[in-house]
Each structure stands twice: as C-alpha cells, then as structure tokens.
Amino acid sequence: MRTMREIVMSNWSEFVRRVDELEGWAFRGESEAAWPLQTALARRLSAYCPDKTLWPLRETRALRVFRRKGHIHLNDSSTLRDDLRTLALMQHHGAPTRLLDFTKSAFVAAFFALESALGDSAVYALNTPLLWGLAPAFNPALTRDRIDPRVPGHFDKYFVNNEFPVVWVGEPLEMDRRLIAQSGLFVIPGQIDRPLSEVLDSYQTDAELLVKYVLPQSIRDEAMKSLYRMNITQATLLPDLEGLARASAYELEVVWESLVEDFRKQARPQ
C-alpha cells in the first residue's frame, strides 16, 4: 500500500511556494487536519446506518426522493435527468453525497481549510494530470472515460454499488455559479467506506497521487490576511446573499489599524 505523504507547513510562504509547483493539480481544504478524506455521505451512513450492504439502497433512495420533489423548486427540471448535475445540486444545498468538492485553486482550498479552523487544518493536493490518464491495476479497462458518471447509467453501474475502487475527476457538463466562482470540480470515489487515499492505492504508479499539507493554527492569521487581499472570501466564493452574510464572520476579525486608532480617538473623553 502506498502511503500518502504528509507535510507540515512551517509558515504561509512555504505553502505558497510548494503549491506553486503543482501545475494542474486539484485541491481540497479540511478544517480539521485529523479528519480522514471521506465523503459526507460516508460519514452520515457510518454514523446512522452501520450495515454497509444497505448503503447502495439508501443512496439510491435519497437520490430518487430528491428528484421526485426537487423539480418544484427549479425553473428548469431537466437538471434532474443528469446524475452528476443532480448530485452537484444536492451537494451545494447541504445534502450528504459521495461527491468530494475540490478546486483548481490551492488558495481557495486553503481558505475553506482555515476560515473556521480552531486547530490544525489541511489542504489535500490531488495529482489530477496523472490520474486523468490512469486506470486501476485490477482492471485497466476502467479508464476515466469508461466510468464517466455523466454518461447515463454509469453512476449506477460503477459507483452506487460501492464495489469498484475507482476514482473519477471532473465537472458536470453544465456548471452552477458556485462551482464557477470556486474554480471547482468533483472527485467521485467508487468506494466510500474507505478514505480516498486508500481507494487511490488501486492505481499503481511510482508518482505521488495525493499529498496532505498540514496548516498549523499558528499560520492562520497571516494566511487569512493574505487570502483577504486576494479577494478570496465567502462573498466571492458563494456569489449570493448567503455568501455575503457568511463573509461578515471574517469582517469581525479583520480591522485595519487606522480604523482602530480612529475608534479609540472617538472613545477618549474630551
């Protein structure tokens, strides 16, 4: 089994330097460095549905119920005829799915890792340029194109049964505003009862497929200020009223020194 490499960052500049070398890779931020890289669906089912043989039934039912009722909230219900677009819609409205949100921007991933972190957080880097052309060793026929969940029937065939240790990376054929704003893409594992790092072990290669960068809590202040200057905030990553409201949380933290001085001057007795 290939072990995922874990690197603890000494400062924000080191992170910037390291990710600058990863051309074309995809990234995911986790606010808790200790969490395994698993889907929200896996966490939900593990907690409340311990019988893994029933997971395909439960996942299929949740998707079916969403389709039956979701159309009343959509101007164009054709989205619900596409498996990946339906899952993306569910994911971005709070449903636990087997999709893992990744981004093409290491700094967007770092923001999601650090924004609400109370301890050490992490950014995972996935070697998507290499993974794009790989097939698992147990069945070289299962290429990315062969298992493409955007093709009707492929999601049920290659993913829902939780049978194949495969990983698909890509985007829906039509993207929503959030996915565009976050430079997002999805990683979809064929097995959700194992961390992504273990599923990737089925792809035999001497090159690294996954690297974990641990961001110590001590670098959060510097990193968040740097990301703020890049205009990476909840308001820009969630381009709606919800994002603007969420962005207020960091506005409570970041106050420029000139504003602090003016405030103190006004508070002094005359």
Opening angle at CA 261, ends 257 and 265, nearest 5 = 170
DSSP state, 4? P
What percent of the chain has a predicted confidence (pLDDT) above 70?
95
Over residues 61-74, mean pLDDT: 94
pLDDT of residue 3: 66
Over residues 114-129, mean pLDDT: 97
**Per-residue pLDDT band at 1 (split at 50, 70, 90):** very low
Q: Please, are residues 30 and 238 in contact by the beta-carbon 8 Å criterion?
A: no
Q: How many domains does the chain have?
A: 1
Over residues 11-27, mean pLDDT: 97
Which strands sit side by side in the sheet containing 5-8, from one edge to the other? 5-8, 210-215, 121-126, 26-30, 100-103, 184-189, 167-170
- Rg of the chain over all Cα atoms, to the nearest angstrom: 20
**Per-residue pLDDT band at 267 (split at 50, 70, 90):** confident
pLDDT of residue 223: 97
d(CA 50, CA 9): 36
Q: What is the pTM of this model?
A: 0.92
Q: What are the residues whose beta carbons fall under 8 Å from the beta carbon of 42, sequence distance 6 or more?
A: 98, 192, 193
pLDDT in tens, 137-189: 999 999 999 999 999 999 999 999 999 999 999 999 888 889 999 999 999 99
Over residues 14-21, mean pLDDT: 97
Q: Which of 58-67, 161-170, 232-241, 261-270 has the lowest mean pLDDT?
A: 261-270
pLDDT of residue 255: 66
pLDDT of residue 261: 65
pLDDT of residue 49: 95
Mean pLDDT of the chain: 93
pLDDT at 270 > cutoff 70: no
d(CA 185, CA 172): 8
CA atoms within 13 A on the CB side of 42: 18
Q: Please, are residues 225 and 13 in contact by the beta-carbon 8 Å criterion?
A: no
**Per-residue pLDDT band at 100 (split at 50, 70, 90):** very high
Q: What are the residues whose beta carbons fall under 8 Å from the beta carbon of 86, sequence distance 6 or more?
A: 63, 66, 67, 70, 79, 80
**Per-residue pLDDT band at 72 (split at 50, 70, 90):** very high
pLDDT of residue 254: 78
Opening angle at CA 199, ends 198 and 203, nearest 5 = 105
pLDDT of residue 258: 62
Over residues 199-209, mean pLDDT: 93
d(CA 86, CA 66): 8
Over residues 6-22, mean pLDDT: 97
Residue range(s) defining the domain that contains residue 145:
5-267
**Other Cβ atoms closer than 10 A to 140:** 10
126: amino acid identity, one letter:
L
pLDDT at 74 > cutoff 90: no
Q: Please, are residues 109 and 54 in contact by the beta-carbon 8 Å criterion?
A: no
